Amino acid sequence: MRTRYVLLAVGVAVLVLLPAYGGNYLVRFGTFLCMYAALALGWNVIGGVTGYPSFATAAFFGAGAYAGALLQVAHTPMPLAWAGAVVFVAAASAVVGIMILRLRGHYFAVGSIALVEVARLVASSWSDLTGGGMGLNVPILPGGPEYAGMVFLYSMFAVAAAAFAAGLWIEHGKLGFALRCIQQNEDAADMVGVNTTACKIAAFVLSAVFAGATGAVYASWTAYLDPSDAFSILLTLKVPVMAMLGGAGTVLGPIVGVVVFQAMEELLWSNFLEMHHAILGLMIVGLIFFLPGGLLSLGAHRRRAPARATSREVPAE
């Protein structure tokens, strides 16, 4: 266990020092790493620890991106715009969570995918506000590309670090214990005194907040948004896959998954641009068939068996 944290610390040091020695390409790669780490760690709270199969990541990523971008377009300073985006996503996800967390299993999964679709459709058709399919230009951060690269790397890093801290807190705290009970048997959790509704909403909002913050930073970083980029179906699938690749429900799993996934993407996929979706598909097939517990489950110092595939789920009626 300790080796893992040492490796993590080394990785963080490399990442933080990137602007000093790495070129633009590496800084960009590092920023993407942090972005996906934040997303995967966020997803892990609801999808891994709580066991709710959420594919709503892109809905909150996009909501945060648009909220931040629109605030910036309305001349709000960037950090304030990000804060506003986080508040907006927290509120929106709480409302949505109250509604869809009553669903379980397959229905929850379908509901969560529908959220992404609805969000994209709304962003596309509400063109007075969002620019619709024409996209939305976000003010560019002054100070030159290198300065901007550094600012966005550190901003994404901060979001990822916060998500990691939240993951640790959940793992060792009362909320995390409650969420694990829900993951194991929701009715039984209710019976032993877990306020399942409140805990699930807390998990959902936490998970959404990190997606929203990431989205807001992303919007400022790319300085341009359109509905299919902000509410990307690819993103909504990729993020859970990354978390599962490392090990869903574990603290470090999502980070491991993101690093391996992004490294593969950079090394392999950049050479086969037109095969992007296909390679992702093949990777998923390989992951599901040969690595059901994720990479961390291969390690000898496994803390606990990955809590998955325990029994066939009761068909939702």
Partner 1 sequence: MSELQILVNGLVLGSLYACMAVGFSLVWGVLNVINMLHGSFIVLGAYISFFLYRHAGVHPFISVPIAAAALFALGYALQRGAINRVVARPVLTTLTLTFGLDMLAYNLMILAFSATPVRIILDLGRVEAAGVVVPVDRLAAMLLALLLTAVLYAVMRGSKIGRAIVAVRMDRDAATLMGIRVERIYATTFALGALMAGAAGAMLALIFPISPTMSGQYLGKVFIVCVLGGLGNVPGALAGGFVLGLVEAFAGVYLGPQNAMTMGYLLMLLLLLVRPTGLMGRKGYE
Partner 2 sequence: MSKAPLLRVSGLEKSFGGVRAVRQVSFEVGRGEIVGLIGPNGAGKTTLVNLITGVVRPDGGRILFDGADVTTQRPFQAARRGLARTFQIVQPFPQMTVLENVAAGALFAGKATSRREAERVAAEQIAFVGLQPFADAPAVSLTLPNRKRLEFAKSLAMGPRLLMLDEVNAGLNSAELDNALDLIRRIAARGITIILIEHLMKVVLGLSTRIMVLHHGELIRAGAPRDVIADPRVVEAYLGQKFAKRYGRLADA
Decide which of partner 1, partner 2, none touches 188; Cβ closer than 5 to 8 Å per partner kind. Answer: partner 2
* Tokens representing residue 75 in the block: 């001349």
Distances (CA, A) of 87 to 36, 46, 213, 218: 21, 19, 9, 16
- Part in contact with partner 2 (CB under 8 A); list of ranges 42-50, 168-176, 220-228, 234-242: 168-176
Residues 296-308 as b or e (16 or more Cβ within 10 Å = b): bbeeeeeeeebbb
Q: Tell me the HSE value of 278 on the side-chain side, using a 13 A CA sphere.
A: 5
277 binds partner 1 (CB under 8 A): yes
Residue type, 166: A
Instruction: Rank residues 137 and 197 by Cβ distance to partner 2 and give the closer one.
Output: 197
Does the footprint of partner 1 cover residue 289 (CB under 8 A)? yes
Site membership for partner 2, residue 277 (CB under 8 A): no
Using DSSP, state whether 223 is helix, strand or coil.
Answer: coil
Contact between 267 and 50 under an 8 Å Cβ cutoff? The reply is no
Q: Which is nearer to partner 1, 118 or 263 (CB)?
A: 118
Is residue 12 a contact residue for partner 1 (CB under 8 A)? no
By CB under 8 A, is residue 178 in contact with partner 2? yes
Identify which of residues 178 and 259 has a Cβ nearer to partner 2 in the complex.
Answer: 178
Pick the stretch among 159-167, 204-212, 253-261, 309-317 that binds partner 1 (CB under 8 A): 309-317
Residue 314 as a binder of partner 2 (CB under 8 A): the answer is no
Task: Decide: 89 and 300 in contact? Cβ < 8 Å.
Answer: no
For 277, the token pair is 């979706």
The residues, any chain, with a CB within 8 Å of residue 47's CB and separated by 6 or more, are 53, 54, 207, 240, 243, 248
CA distance 246 to 253: 4
**Residue 202 vs 237, nearer CB to partner 2:** 202
Asked if residue 284 binds partner 1 (CB under 8 A), the reply is yes
**Which one of 5-13, 62-70, 80-88, 241-249 is the stretch in contact with partner 1 (CB under 8 A)?**
241-249
Binding at 233: pick from partner 2, partner 1, none (beta carbon under 5-8 Å per type): partner 1
**Which residues contact partner 2 by CB under 8 A?**
172-174, 177-178, 180-181, 184-185, 187-196, 304-305, 307, 310-311
